[in-house]
Amino acid sequence: MSAAPTAVDARRSLVPETVLEVEGLFKHFPLPRGLVGALLGRPGRVVHAVDGVSFTLGRGEILALVGESGCGKTTTALSLMGLLPASAGSIRFNGQDVTHLSGRPDGAARATVAALDGAAYRREPSVFPSLTLKRLRRQIQMIFQDPYESLNPRATVYEAVAEPLEVHGLEPDSESRLARVCRALEDSGLKPAQAFLGRLPHELSGGQRQRVVIAGALVLEPSLIIADEPVSMLDVSIRADILNLLDDLRTRRGISILYITHDLGTAACFTDRIAVMYLGRIVEIGPTRRVLADPQHPYTRALLSVVPVPNPRLRRKRLILSGETPNPIDLPSGCRFRPRCPVAVDRCAIVDPGLTLVGEGHQAACVLVEGDRPAAT
Amino acid sequence: MEIDASPLLDVRHLSTHFVTDEGVFRAVEDLSFQLRRGEFLGLVGESGCGKTTAMLSVLRLLPAAGRIVAGEVRLEGEDILALEAAEMRRVRWRKMSIIFQGAMNALNPVRSVGDQIAEALVLHEMAPTYHQAGKRVAELLELVGIDAARADQYPHQYSGGMRQRAMIAMALACNPQIVIADEPTTALDVMIQAQILELLERLQGELGLAVILVTHDLSVVAEVCHNVLVMYGGVLAEYATVDAIYNEPLHPYTRLLLEAFPDLSRPDARLVSIPGQPPRLNALPAGCRFAPRCPMVIDRCRVEAPPVRQVRPGRWATCHRIDEEGV
């Protein structure tokens, strides 16, 4: 906390305000055709997990990516991390194209990395033996859903949080490494850090484990954190703590956060913008308050109507969609939400609507909102 | 919805302890509540507050270390804690059944779903053979909104929501009057959660079921329940109608739980968390179990455990700070 603001300020002046720019991202998984299919020369079938996703994320901004299981939220996140190679599209991080960074260093990657944090690279080039994806991952960290499974049961809190430093060859001096681990733990709300260093995961509560996981991400001082359902396994009384912590990280360290969830309720309370995903596409995106107050896409409306409201006097008619997200192999013609849409019209079977501007910074992909409005860029 | 006044299930002063090497865990202590025909009761609290143990005690399904040390459980006036094991087995499924937490993952992967429901019917003598159970299996599946033609499919061919529906169908196999649903929607998407809640509401209306919904999610309770029992550290914290719990909560714990909730109607409110953790049940504080985390604690709370008392007509709470005028 003490030294962080100056570091953030310094970086702020050097880089553009947009941290992440995703443009037309596709991730398709071809299915095995089988012997008969191959012999008959049938066309291979493909899972369209992510099918043309574009969005930007500003410095210190929190964007929620909301949708049901199987809509492509997590695949999007894994592509951003470079854990899954994108099929098409581009991912720009701090202005640099990082779509095709590989594990092996080459000239272009070297240049990318040098630009990412040039000063540090010139100061101690030996720190970056493999100047590629690995260097990118210092900047983008991920927090997973289940803190019971994402921690090694035999590693102490210190070992768990120090491991990323070791992997990236940072702070080789044990004293400074300890100091950095302690700072990450305290920033994650585990105070005093000394009391937790020697503990094993089974000695921690669920909320404390998730804080250790967050400390493990923070210790590398990333500029973007991807949090994939970080509270869905936690008790309600602890959820608030973790969400408030993420909010604080944004405020204090200027970290951008991509918050992935199926729950609009938790997304409502601390995010700046919401992107609603359905079958591999973003169907609505806009400022959180606008999306909640005036949802334009019928899918967003349905999702909102089923978020439980903690007040029995406000019980209202739920707009329950039958079935679940259809499989992303055989996509319906026209609008992909049509088969479950309560307000679908004939035109929906023909037109595959793109995102249309419906308000300031607010876009929706539905033929019913298109009207005479110009298509969004 | 009409609620019959005579209690179907009457739990009085139930205490359950676990005796282990690490001491005695007083998991449930002096718990009393009633459930009427057709009632939807929410049982709410954080992990480890004794919700599941209370329900397992009612069904007499406690693990070996668990002992019911006091109290009685009356089902239609009969004390079922006094029943022989064989008689108790007939009460389970036929009178009361339970949908366990994560049960949808407990389906046998190598047997068809219909077969597994038929097994329950045959074991509980609702059908003489698997073959003759077929018609009832089809009925049950249709009842929970699954096409009967899918009875021959295997669990992996079902989605998560359908597996949970199949578990509900199984729980209904022997026409019970009470269904206990332990976190039936945790780990499901919001849309599927809404589908399952709607199904439970519909079944409750159509079959006159009494349902106990065990959950840590107060907003789910607000959507469907008539009455709410809030547990903390193994004891009843507050019992009231759902409207009273949400609009006039009396116990400080209930209030904190409500504030910890994201409310779409107030997106700007910062969430309030409850500092600290639930007490360890083998090292309970001397006085009120909530005292170490309570924002309204007074000296008396730390030395004297508050009794369960009726603080309003039809409302019970365990707190020294609630008097006649309010808190």
| Most A CBs within 10 Å, among B40, B190, B200, to test the A interface | B190
Of A68, A238, A292, the CB nearest to B189: A68
Starting at the edge strand found earlier in the chain, the sheet holding B235-241 runs B96-99, B178-182, B210-215, B40-44, B227-232, B235-241, B315-317, B309-312
Dihedral sign for Cα atoms in the order B42, B48, B52, B54: negative
| Most B CBs within 10 Å, among A73, A237, A245, A314, to test the B interface | A237
Residue carrying structure tokens 């039936």: B184
pTM for this structure?
Answer: 0.82
Tally of CB atoms within 10 A around A289: 14
The residue-averaged pLDDT of B268-293 equals 84
* Chain A hits for B216, Cβ within 8 Å: 235-236
| B286 and chain A in contact, CB less than 8 A | no
Cβ pair B256:A237 closer than 8 A? yes
| Most A CBs within 10 Å, among B51, B52, B144, B189, to test the A interface | B189
Alpha-carbon gap: A92 to the closest alpha carbon of chain B (Å): 31
CA-to-CA dists, residue B110 to B130, B150, B154, angstroms: 17, 15, 7
ipTM of the complex as predicted: 0.78
CA-to-CA dists, residue A139 to A113, A214, B47, angstroms: 11, 14, 35
Q: Which residues of A158-178 are buried (b: 16+ CB within 10 A; e: fewer)?
A: bebbbebbeebebbeeeeebb
Alpha-carbon gap: B85 to the closest alpha carbon of chain A (Å): 35
> Which 66-85 residues of chain A touch chain B by CB within 8 A?
68-69
Beta bridge partners of B43: B214, B229
Q: What is the pLDDT of residue B288?
A: 93
B279 vs A181 pLDDT, higher one: A181
| A306/A301 Cα distance (integer angstroms) | 9
Please report which confidence band the pLDDT of residue B192 belongs to, taking 50, 70 and 90 as the band edges.
Answer: confident
* Chain A hits for B243, Cβ within 8 Å: 312-313
* Chain B hits for A243, Cβ within 8 Å: 271
B59 vs A34 pLDDT, higher one: B59
What is the residue-averaged pLDDT of chain B? 88
Q: Is the pLDDT of residue A376 over 60?
A: no
Structure tokens at B66: 């668990």
| A183 and chain B in contact, CB less than 8 A | no
* Chain B hits for A238, Cβ within 8 Å: 273
Of A263, A265, A320, the CB nearest to B195: A320
Cβ pair A303:B267 closer than 8 A? no
Please report which confidence band the pLDDT of residue A372 belongs to, taking 50, 70 and 90 as the band edges.
Answer: very low
Please report which confidence band the pLDDT of residue B126 belongs to, taking 50, 70 and 90 as the band edges.
Answer: confident
Cβ pair B194:A243 closer than 8 A? no
Cβ pair A263:B190 closer than 8 A? yes
Cβ pair B263:A310 closer than 8 A? yes
Q: What is the pLDDT of residues A128-171, one digit of tens each?
A: 433 467 778 889 999 988 888 889 999 999 999 999 999 888 88
CA-to-CA dists, residue B189 to A67, A291, B1, B193, B213, angstroms: 9, 20, 28, 6, 18
> Which 229-248 residues of chain A touch chain B by CB within 8 A?
232, 235-241, 243-244
Q: What is the pLDDT of residues A185-201, one digit of tens each?
A: 999 999 899 999 999 99
Q: What is the pLDDT of residue B322?
A: 85
* Chain A hits for B228, Cβ within 8 Å: none
Size of interface A-B (CB pairs under 8 A): 122
Cβ pair A309:B191 closer than 8 A? no
Q: What is the pLDDT of residues B133-186, one digit of tens each?
A: 999 999 999 999 899 999 999 999 888 888 989 999 999 999 999 999 998 887
- Kindly identify which residue of chain B lies nearest to residue A146, measuring between CA atoms: B187
Taken in order of first residue, the domains within chain B and their CATH numbers are 7-95+176-317 (3.40.50.300), 104-175 (no CATH)
Alpha-carbon gap: B210 to the closest alpha carbon of chain A (Å): 19
* Chain B hits for A68, Cβ within 8 Å: 189-192
* Chain A hits for B295, Cβ within 8 Å: none
| A289 and chain B in contact, CB less than 8 A | yes
Mean pLDDT lowest among A318-332, B56-70, B170-184: A318-332
Concatenated DSSP letters of B189-249: -HHHHHHHHHHHHHHHHHH--EEEEEES-HHHHHHH-SEEEEEETTEEEEEEEHHHHHHS-
The residue-averaged pLDDT of B10-18 equals 95
Of A309, A312, A320, the CB nearest to B264: A309
